[in-house]
Chain A
């Protein structure tokens, strides 16, 4: 039976992992390769790297990171952040990324999603949707949640599926950073509206939130950052908890 996936997310800037990953006896808390290796050993099903490097001068550093991680860690790697043109997708795939996540540029240039999916296959194109509740629906935001688009998140998700996205990474901007759990209504609305897998993100504070994301939100995968980075819970611990609650996981 297909397992629900747990995906730790690492924020990377200027070639270093930020947000203080709190593994015991980690020699270098910012070393992406060592952190990736530790997550791999803990049973992470995939890893997502989000490049938050502000300066375009240092953008190529993520390529070196992906090259180094892909040489040692043999699970799927997703990279997002600053993907603007098909050439960006190609560079990341060539460096060893298995999937590339497109966020703001999917809104400013939806054709990029289609072109990239046509060229490299839907299986490697993830569209990241940042959504915020607006009355009785949810609106898509870009630029890290700062810019409203006027787009309805459910309609947008269907459009991205039609353009060739192979997976959607859905983040609730209302819940992100709150540790109060996923926006389950949002997750379920989008998961029900499309046939492609949904990764739920934004708001995880407890292991029960992961269970709720799958059971109530009908997410196919759950992504979390801080609960793993700060050592509150291990990935293996999270999986055991999910299994105890009747969710199929890879142990």
Chain B
């Protein structure tokens, strides 16, 4: 059986939501939740979700022998990182002082306690949990059909800080601006949960399952936005 979309399972939490949402937007695609490097290598596109803590994620990735398969997929085919699956693409996480996959330059940091209050002085809770506005920092095929500032569902205590600002595809505020989406050639990764973000989340996933990274200029034209 050829696999259209592989959802990488490394034992970190609930993957059913992700696979169900993808099946919903791509009913004719074969979607497989897998921890088999060969299946990941053969899949047409790859979704890399994840919940929990960074040290556990990295340990489980290595315990299952998945590191190389993830790195290879992130370099070669449409690749969607979600939540922890976005964070561990970077070099290092402050959470448990953890060395991550290093596919993207940058680090992962905790929302700093001293900054967590709004303009009126009210305490802001961590984890950052709930629906927040996502601002699109670049036109991208995965944003097509999604309004600037649309709300997505977040739940996280750490956020990514890319070294190269040109990979920033989206940002949100809590209370300061933080990166919540990054994009490179064939990678798109988000801090929020598209699989839990109702219609806009499904739109993003639907865009991913039809995304052909080589045709980015065409997609930019379709979105009506100017390509930088």
**Docked complex Cα distance between A133 and B127 (Å):** 28
B21 / chain A contacts, CB cutoff of 8 Å:
74
**Docked complex Cα distance between A94 and B33 (Å):** 12
Contact of B173 among A1, A166, A197 (CB under 8 A): A1
Chain B positions 187-228 with a Cβ under 8 Å from a chain A Cβ: 193, 195-198, 201-202
Chain A contact residues: over half helix, strand or loop, or mixed? loop
B126 / chain A contacts, CB cutoff of 8 Å:
195-196
B64 / chain A contacts, CB cutoff of 8 Å:
none
Q: Which 8 A-B pairs have the closest CB atoms?
A: A121-B52, A250-B131, A123-B155, A197-B125, A93-B14, A3-B131, A121-B51, A96-B16
Instruction: Contacts A120-B52, A195-B125, A197-B129 given; indicate if A74 touches B24 (C-beta within 8 A).
Output: yes
Measured CB to CB, the closest approach of chain B to A170, in angstroms, equals 13
**Docked complex Cα distance between A98 and B201 (Å):** 16
B151 touches A3 (CB 8 A): yes
In the complex, the chain A residue whose C-beta lies closest to that of B50 is A121
B196 / chain A contacts, CB cutoff of 8 Å:
74-76, 98
**Docked complex Cα distance between A123 and B16 (Å):** 16
Instruction: Contacts A2-B174, A70-B20 given; indicate if A197 touches B197 (C-beta within 8 A).
Output: no
In the complex, the chain B residue whose C-beta lies closest to that of A45 is B131
Measured CB to CB, the closest approach of chain A to B99, in angstroms, equals 20
A94 touches B14 (CB 8 A): yes
Q: Footprint of B on A, CB under 8 Å?
A: 1-5, 40, 45, 67, 70-72, 74-76, 93-98, 120-124, 166-167, 192, 195-198, 218, 220-221, 250
B127 / chain A contacts, CB cutoff of 8 Å:
122-123, 166-167, 196-197
B12 / chain A contacts, CB cutoff of 8 Å:
121
Q: Footprint of A on B, CB under 8 Å?
A: 12-14, 16-17, 20-21, 24, 51-53, 113, 116, 122-133, 151, 153-157, 173-174, 193, 195-198, 201-202
Measured CB to CB, the closest approach of chain A to B190, in angstroms, equals 15
A98 / chain B contacts, CB cutoff of 8 Å:
14, 17, 196
15 new A-B contacts, CB < 8 A, other than A1-B132, A75-B197, A166-B155, are: A2-B124, A2-B174, A45-B130, A74-B202, A76-B155, A93-B16, A94-B14, A96-B14, A98-B14, A120-B14, A123-B156, A124-B13, A124-B51, A192-B123, A196-B126
Question: Which of B16, B122, B126, B201 has most chain A Cβ within 10 Å?
Answer: B16
B123 touches A5 (CB 8 A): no
B122 / chain A contacts, CB cutoff of 8 Å:
218
In the complex, the chain B residue whose C-beta lies closest to that of A2 is B132
B17 / chain A contacts, CB cutoff of 8 Å:
70, 74, 96, 98
In the complex, the chain A residue whose C-beta lies closest to that of B201 is A74
A221 touches B130 (CB 8 A): yes
**Docked complex Cα distance between A183 and B51 (Å):** 34
Contact of B123 among A95, A166, A195 (CB under 8 A): A195
B14 / chain A contacts, CB cutoff of 8 Å:
93-94, 96-98, 120, 124
A71 / chain B contacts, CB cutoff of 8 Å:
20, 24
B153 touches A75 (CB 8 A): yes
Question: Which of A40, A95, A123 has most chain B Cβ within 10 Å?
Answer: A123
A-B contact pairs, 29 of them (CB 8 A): A1-B132, A2-B132, A2-B154, A3-B130, A3-B132, A45-B130, A74-B17, A74-B24, A74-B196, A74-B197, A75-B153, A75-B196, A75-B198, A76-B193, A98-B14, A98-B17, A120-B14, A120-B52, A121-B12, A121-B51, A121-B53, A123-B127, A124-B13, A124-B14, A195-B123, A197-B125, A197-B129, A198-B125, A220-B130
A195 / chain B contacts, CB cutoff of 8 Å:
113, 116, 123, 125-126
In the complex, the chain A residue whose C-beta lies closest to that of B21 is A74
Measured CB to CB, the closest approach of chain B to A69, in angstroms, equals 10
Measured CB to CB, the closest approach of chain A to B49, in angstroms, equals 12
Measured CB to CB, the closest approach of chain A to B123, in angstroms, equals 7
Measured CB to CB, the closest approach of chain A to B81, in angstroms, equals 17
**Docked complex Cα distance between A217 and B107 (Å):** 36
**Docked complex Cα distance between A95 and B15 (Å):** 10
A250 / chain B contacts, CB cutoff of 8 Å:
131, 151
**Docked complex Cα distance between A221 and B193 (Å):** 18
A166 touches B198 (CB 8 A): no
